[in-house]
Structure formats: C-alpha cells, structure tokens
Amino acid sequence: MNAAKNDTVVRLHARDILQEMGRTLWYLRAILIGLLALFVLLTIGMWYFGAPVETANRTPSPWGETVYFCAITALTIGYGDVVPTSTFGRIDAILLGLVGLVITGLMVAAAVRGIQEASQRASEQKLQE
C-alpha cells in the first residue's frame, strides 16, 4: 500500500516553475546586472576600438550595427554580416561570446532549479494530502 502511494504522479504547473525561476533570477540579480554592465562596456569598446565593418560593402559599421553585432555575438549566433577588423575587436568579440555563454548558463540553471523546486513543493503538498 505504501508503494502505491509513493508512485502517484505529481503534476507541475508552469506558473509554479516560472515563479521559482523568477526567484532564482532575483537571487542572481547582482551577477546578471554585472554581466549586463560588462556587455555594455564591451559594446562601447567595440564601437570605439574594435573597428567593426559590414562584410557586404566593407564600410565602417554604424552604432546600431555595432550593437547588433555585439548582441548576436553574445547570443552565440554570429551571422557574420558585421565583423571586427582590429585585434582588440576580435578579443572583444571573444569576450562577448563568453559573456553570452555565462548568461545562457545562468538562465538554464535558473530554469532547472525552478523545475526542481516546483517539483519538490508539489511532492510535499501531495504527501500532506
């Protein structure tokens, strides 16, 4: 009889998972703000020292294209339509990619923790019933 009670299915709700994920992200807010600040600094550095150019016509990239390049690089997509041409710009692009990887890792970790916490709470509530 005990084995049958332990085999019951616990239903998770997306709302609970998202709430737990939100709590985790709130705990990580200082790290996320620091990473955002680093992204902004690297983007400004790319604009002034990275010499980004559009690959189609080999002209210097305007500010909007530079921000686009930095965001695409941080998201690890990298279309290649804007590229840095200086050594600093290439190092900056690598750092942007690493910042993107860390942010992605934190988001995935927060989602996994949200699922774990929601599952644990649902299991505890099920046992109390």
State the pTM of this model: 0.81
Q: Which residue reads 């929601």 in tokens?
A: 118
Q: Is residue 21 part of a domain?
A: no
Q: What is the pLDDT of residue 63?
A: 93
- Number of domains, the chain: 1
What pLDDT is recorded for position 6? Answer: 57
What radius of gyration do the chain's Cα atoms show? 22
The pLDDT score that the predictor gives to residue 5 is: 54
Task: Please report whether residue 34 resides in a domain.
Answer: yes
The ranges of the chain with pLDDT < 70 are: 1-7
| Contact assessment for residue 122 and residue 11, using Cβ atoms and an 8 Å cutoff | yes
DSSP three-state, residue 1: coil
In a domain, 40, yes or no: yes
Quick one: pLDDT at residue 1?
46
> Is position 71 within any domain?
yes
Q: Indicate the SS3 state at residue 7.
A: coil
First to last CA, the chain: 16
- Packing angle of the helix pair 63-74, 29-49 (nearest 10 deg): 130
Which pLDDT score, from 0 to 100, does residue 2 have? 52
Supply the CATH number for residue 104's domain: 1.10.287.70
The parent domain of residue 35 ranges over 26-123
Q: What is the pLDDT of residues 12-33, one digit of tens each?
A: 888 989 999 999 999 999 999 9
